[in-house]
Amino acid sequence: MRHVPLRFLPLRKLPALALPFACMAISATASAAQPQPAPAIALNQLGFLPGAAKVAVVPDGAARSFAIVKAGTDTVVLDGALAPAAAAPESGDRVRLATFTALATPGRYQVRVAGLPDSPPFDVGPGVFQAVNAASIKAFYFNRTAIPLEERHAGIFKRPAGHPDTRVLVHASAASPARPAGTVIASPKGWYDAGDYNKYIVNSGITTYTLLAAWEDFPALFKAQNLGIPESGNALPDLLDEALWNLEWMLTMQDPADGGVYHKLTNLGFDGMVMPDKATQPRYVVQKTTAAALNFAAVMAMASRVYAPYEQQMPGMAARMLAASKAAWQWAQAHPRVYYQQPKDVSTGEYGDKDVSDEFGWAAAELFVTTGDAAWYKAMNAPALQASVPSWAEVRGLAWMSLARHRDTLNAAADKALIASRIDTLSASLAAGWKKSAYGIPMQPADYVWGSSAVALNQAMVLLHGYRMTSKRDYLDAAQAGLDYALGRNAVGISFVTGFGTKSPMHPHHRPSEADGIRAPVPGWIVGGPQPAQQDKKDCPVPYPSALPARSYVDHACSYASNEVAINWNAPLVYVSAGVQALTPAAGK
């Protein structure tokens, strides 16, 4: 991600084929007809849980009321007044909110406003997010390296294996006495990071954390889930099987001689728009960095406690992970300012980060939670560590969410009042933004950055932690609004998740989706979303429709700046689509 590809192949999409997935309810959406134009009424295009807040965005006009009708009929089941008009500078429009939270009877409905086309149909029911949650996890399977995707698991998206990574060269930037430049090592498994075919430890950090956090917070939702991956039916839940595919790769990225961790495994340059098995450039591990070591240390400490109950199935794995975490921490302590510097002969994604104070705090927090050793809490320097919405380069919020998750069982050294304050203060700030937003979402104009869809979902993840800790309903409703944004309540009227919604991306910047000859993109991926910098503008044959932050989006494979996919963006979709199911009270409560 965050790159200019070498070249684009012409868009050659064939008619959609049926998806023979017996294990997931995504086949109809993934092979749907060409999406319709953006709807005038913007709302979550999948639907709502009966007890959830329910809101649609209506363009300002003559109407002052709305009705909810049974889909495709004139049968009115609820009506109400539209809220006063409000200006949205990020999208350049004036809109009114239609709130219909009282609608709790399961069924299929539409919002009707005089003078406008009816909204896209949406469902109300207890299972509205099950399919998108399953698909958002299975997207990781579709991005696995080193394994063929067989038809029985992948349906029409079957493909040969790509990048076995059993013969990876040590780049000169990563050379050491025990492993001089040109040394061949094996580093298989893992996920392709984004629309490209490389693997990056720093981005794997927040990604794998978020998947494991979903498991720690909502295990009941995942224990019986069958994703139809090769490991389905074994002794581990599928979510943990999928995360383990990446964790096992991460373990190979640690130098056993000193505990340092390579920053990335990559080609020297990006591949073209070809399938993985056609991408055959030599592969390298590049430079050890402090950021990589600390991301690795944090995730391995967390994974060691998550997988500890499965000792019988994976003897020694939890202990191995914890030992690897501590070794990486020690390397980082000895090398506290080794920042990534792109070698002259490498042009793939950097994930450079020259402030690793947050990574030190996060890694120490995870080691504290896992070991109970008060020395790790001291190393975290909690009073100086603030909480913020997480991103790959800003992970201090992950530390506070882990502490909040385990606060009832923490060593007495932990300041539980400070933990609660950090989460509540951040959640309150996000809820305040939600209340003042014309679209009724936590997203503010400055939040439309690269990967804005993930900003919305990471905000929602924080808010769900705030709700779990305080039971403040505003936090839950604001989190729901963040998910609604990702699924259609936005200025471009699109569900940003491939294969889901009346209108969803058809041409994500994702090499397999563009090179496989199938009209439908691989389902379950959330694209980056609007952002006004438009770094790919010179590379795209189609223009952006607007420079306004909330409208700066184009559904074309050229648009790596607004339409790429990435593992760290999908992970909070997994978390939030699970969390709203687990935490939303029954209707009327």
Q: How many C-beta atoms surround the C-beta of residue 421 within 10 A?
A: 13
Contact call for residues 80 and 101 (beta carbons, < 8 A): no
Give dist(CA 223, CA 231) in Å, integer: 14
Contact call for residues 285 and 185 (beta carbons, < 8 A): yes
3-class DSSP string for 442-471? CCCHHHCCCCHHHHHHHHHHHHHHHHHHHC
Please tell me which residue in 90, 217, 555, 556 is annotated as part of the active site: 555
Q: In the annotation, is 394 catalytic? A: no
Please choose, from the candidates 468, 491, 486, 445, the residue with its C-alpha nearest in 3D space to the C-alpha of residue 571: 486
Phi/psi of residue 286, each to 5°?
-125, 130
Q: Which residue has the tokens 């306004």?
A: 548
Please tell me which residue in 507, 509, 510, 556 is annotated as part of the active site: 509
Q: Which residues are 56's β-sheet partners?
A: 98
3-state class of 566 per DSSP? strand
Contact call for residues 175 and 260 (beta carbons, < 8 A): no
User: What CA dihedral angle connects 293, 262, 567 and 137, to 10 degrees?
Assistant: -80
Pairing of β 47-48 and β 122-124: parallel
Q: In the annotation, is 555 catalytic? A: yes
Contact call for residues 162 and 275 (beta carbons, < 8 A): yes
| Alpha-carbon torsion (189, 195, 200, 204), positive or negative | negative
Q: In the annotation, is 153 catalytic? A: no
Q: Which residues are catalytic?
A: 509, 555, 564
